[in-house]
Amino acid sequence: MTLPPIRDWWSELSDEARLGLLESAPHLGESAREEIRVITGAVVGMAETLSDDDLDFARTELEQADEAPND
């Protein structure tokens, strides 16, 4: 099993799954694995982990979201 590229599913991941993912990094929590499976159709096993590049991407995305002006 291979984790699909983070850019394919990050934007559709729920806030809860995103935070859980970063809290358990580099491992994926159950809710994140399930959401990634629903979003991509890929089987995401319990042994899947995020790469350093994936973690950098996720952290950058969250920082940019925090800095964005609220409407």
Q: Which two tokens stand for residue 66?
A: 């925090």
SS3 percent helix, strand, coil of the chain, rounded to 5, is: 60, 5, 35
What does the pLDDT look like over 3-35, one tens digit per residue?
999 999 999 999 999 988 989 999 998 999 999
Helix 15-24 and helix 52-67, axial crossing angle in degrees, nearest 10 = 130
d(CA 16, CA 36): 13
What does the pLDDT look like over 31-67, one tens digit per residue?
999 999 999 999 999 999 999 999 999 999 988 877 7
Beta strands in 1-71 (DSSP E): none
Looking at residue 12, its pLDDT comes to: 96
pTM as predicted? 0.84
